[in-house]
Chains A and B, each alone.
Chain A
C-alpha cells in the first residue's frame, strides 16, 4: 500500500505556476531521491506537501496515509506522520529545544489518544535519541537553532525527526552547506532511524549525499515535472554528465 500518492499535482505562487503536474508514489521502507537543477520546483514540492500557506494548489491530489493531505492544516499533517527537514531552519529565540519538542511530541500523542510524556521521562527519551544520531546534549537546552551553525541547524532537524518518529520525512537539501563530516553524521542518523515502516524523500543537488543515504529511486524534477525516474545509478550518471542529456535528449 502507498504511504504517499501524488497525482497530477499543480501549484502556484503569486499566479506563477511552479509545479505542472507531479506524479509520485512512495511505499513504506522506501527512499526516494529527488534531484534537479535550480528552480525546477524541488523545494516548492516540499513546501506544498508540508502545507506552507503561500502556495496554492490548483489541481491534483495528494493522499497520505489514507487521508487527503491537502485538506489538512500543517500541524495535522505533522501529526499524521509527515516531517519536513527545512532547508533553512528557523531560529526561535526564547524557546528551548527540549520544551519545543516536548510540546510538539505531546501534541502528536494527544492526536493519537496516547498518554502525554512527563518532563523527566521525556528528557530520558530525547537523550537516547540524541545519542543515536550523535547530537550533542548541550544543544537540548539551547533556544531552537539560535546561534547554531549551518551544520548544527541541519543536525537539529534530524534530531527533531528522531524524536517525532515520522512515517514520511522529506529532507529538503539537508546536505547543502554541510562539510563531509557533518554530512556523514546526518546520513548516519537517517540510516539509524530507517526501518521498514517509514519512508524518506531526499531532495538534493548532489550525488554525494546519496553515497551515504542510498536511494531506491531517483527522480529528476525539471520545470515542475518529473521527467525521469531510475535507480541509484541515475544519480551517478547525473554526476558525470549533468542534466542536459535528459533535458535535451536530441543533442
Chain B
C-alpha cells in the first residue's frame, strides 16, 4: 500500500504515531468479508495512492462551483488537506483523545491511517451566546497524482453556543479525501451540520464522531448528489438528557458510483430523542449502502429513537443494500426502524398520466417529490431551495 509506505518515508512534515501506522498496516485493506465494508467496493487502484503533502502538484486547480453560498458565513478553504488561512493554527489533536477513539470505525484502516498523523488537526471553537455563528468549509482536492488526503477538523461548541456549519466536499478522481471530524457539543448548544457532496468526481471517506450533552440540539443534513465514491461514517454519542438529534440524509447515485452511509446513534443517557431519516435514488449501475443503528444503553430510559430509510431504484442495474438495526438494553423506550426499497409505483405514474402529464415527466415529478419529502425538512430556507434546484437539474 503506497500510502503506508509514503508515511514511513521521512520526506514529509507529519508527526507519525508509528504504533497506529503499524496497526493500519497490519489490518490491511477491507474486503467483502469485512463487516463494515462488505457491500462497499473500494475506489479503484487504491493501492497506488500515496499520501498528500504540502507540496502536492496541482495541474488543474478545481474551481469552487455547485456549492451553496451562505452570505453570512465565515469561509475557509482547504486545498489538498491544508488551509492557508489556518496554517499557523495546526496542532496536535488532543481533544479528549481517548473518548474519541471509541467509535465503530476505530478499527478501520482509513481511520487509523489518518490518526497515525498527529499534527494535522484544525480546531474551530464556537462560543458566542445568543448569536448564531455560521461557518462554511470547502474541502477541495485536486492533486495531479494519485493521493490520499488526510484531514482532521474539530468543532467545539461551548455552553449555549449556536452554530451552523457547511461542509462542502469537492474533489477530482486522482484524490481520495480521508477526513475525520470530531464534534463536541456542550450543554444547551445548538448545531446544524450540512454535509454536501456535489462534485461528479469526488472520492470521499468521512468519519464523524459527535458527542452531545444535556439539552443540546443537533441537526445533520447529509446530502450527496454527485461523487464517484462517498462514504460517511457517522457516530453520535448522546451523553446527556433532553438532547435531540435530527439526522436527515439524501443520496442520488448514478453511473457506477457508490454512496455509503454508516450511522450509529448511541443513546447513552435517558430522556433523549433521535430521528434518522434517509432517502435515496439509485440510477444506472449505482450502488447505495445504508447501514444505520440505534443503540440504547441500559440506563437510557425514556429514549425516543427512530430510523427510516427509503430507496427508489430507477434502473434494473441499480443496487441498494440497506440494513436498519436496533439494539436496545433499556426497557422503557420508544424506538422504531424501517426500510423500503423499490421501483416507482405504476399506479402513481398512471395517475399522473391520466391527468395529462407524459410518462417521463410523471416519473420526474414523482422522483422530485420523493426527494423533496426529505429536503423540505431542512429549515434553512435558502439552502433548501438551492438543493431543490440542484436535484431538479440532476433529474433532467
Which of the residues A73, A143, A164 comes within 8 Å of B358, measured between beta carbons? A73
CA distance A164 to B376 in the complex (A): 28
Instruction: Map CB proximity to B onto A98-122 as digits: 1 under 8 Å, 0 otherwise.
Output: 0011011101100100000000000
Interfacial chain B residues near A50, Cβ < 8 Å: 350, 354
Which of the residues B347, B365, B372, B373 comes within 8 Å of A103, measured between beta carbons? B365
CA distance A54 to B345 in the complex (A): 13
Closest-by-CB residue of B relative to A105 is B356
B369 and A94 form a contact (CB under 8 A): yes
CB distance from B265 to the nearest CB of A (A): 25
A78 and B369 form a contact (CB under 8 A): no
Instruction: Map CB proximity to B onto A14-26 as digits: 1 under 8 Å, 0 otherwise.
Output: 0000000000000
Q: A90-B348, A90-B351 are known contacts. Are A95 and B369 too (CB-CB below 8 A)?
A: yes
Q: A75-B357, A75-B358, A107-B357 are known contacts. Are A94 and B372 too (CB-CB below 8 A)?
A: yes
A78 and B348 form a contact (CB under 8 A): no
Size bin of chain A's contact surface: 20 to 34
Q: Is A86 among interface residues, defined by CB-CB distance under 8 A?
A: yes
Q: Is B46 among interface residues, defined by CB-CB distance under 8 A?
A: no
CA distance A74 to B346 in the complex (A): 13
Size bin of chain B's contact surface: 20 to 34
Interfacial chain A residues near B376, Cβ < 8 Å: 94
A104 and B355 form a contact (CB under 8 A): yes
Within 8 A of B (CB), among A132-166: 143, 160, 164
Closest-by-CB residue of A relative to B375 is A94
B356 and A107 form a contact (CB under 8 A): yes
Interfacial chain A residues near B358, Cβ < 8 Å: 73, 75, 107
CB distance from A152 to the nearest CB of B (A): 16
Q: A53-B346, A95-B365, A100-B365 are known contacts. Are A84 and B354 too (CB-CB below 8 A)?
A: yes
Which of the residues A83, A89, A93, A107 comes within 8 Å of B351, measured between beta carbons? A89
Q: Is B366 among interface residues, defined by CB-CB distance under 8 A?
A: yes
Interfacial chain B residues near A78, Cβ < 8 Å: 353-356
Q: A52-B350, A74-B350, A90-B348 are known contacts. Are A100 and B372 too (CB-CB below 8 A)?
A: no
Q: A92-B369, A93-B369, A100-B365 are known contacts. Are A164 and B346 too (CB-CB below 8 A)?
A: no
Q: Point out which of B346, B352, B371 has the most chain A C-beta atoms below 10 A from its C-beta.
A: B352
Closest-by-CB residue of A relative to B358 is A75
Interfacial chain B residues near A92, Cβ < 8 Å: 348, 351-352, 366, 369
Q: Is B129 among interface residues, defined by CB-CB distance under 8 A?
A: no
A53 and B351 form a contact (CB under 8 A): no
23 intermolecular pairs with C-beta atoms under 8 Å apart: A73-B353, A74-B350, A75-B355, A75-B356, A78-B353, A84-B354, A86-B351, A90-B347, A90-B348, A92-B351, A93-B369, A93-B373, A94-B373, A95-B365, A101-B355, A103-B361, A103-B365, A104-B355, A105-B356, A107-B358, A111-B356, A143-B369, A160-B355
Q: Knowing that A78-B355, A101-B355 are A-B contacts, what are 13 other residue pairs whose CB atoms are under 8 Å apart, sorted by A's residue number?
A: A51-B353, A75-B362, A86-B351, A90-B347, A90-B348, A90-B351, A92-B366, A94-B370, A94-B372, A104-B352, A107-B357, A164-B355, A164-B356
Chain A contact residues, CB within 8 Å of chain B: 50-54, 73-75, 77-79, 83-84, 86, 89-90, 92-95, 100-101, 103-105, 107-108, 111, 143, 160, 164
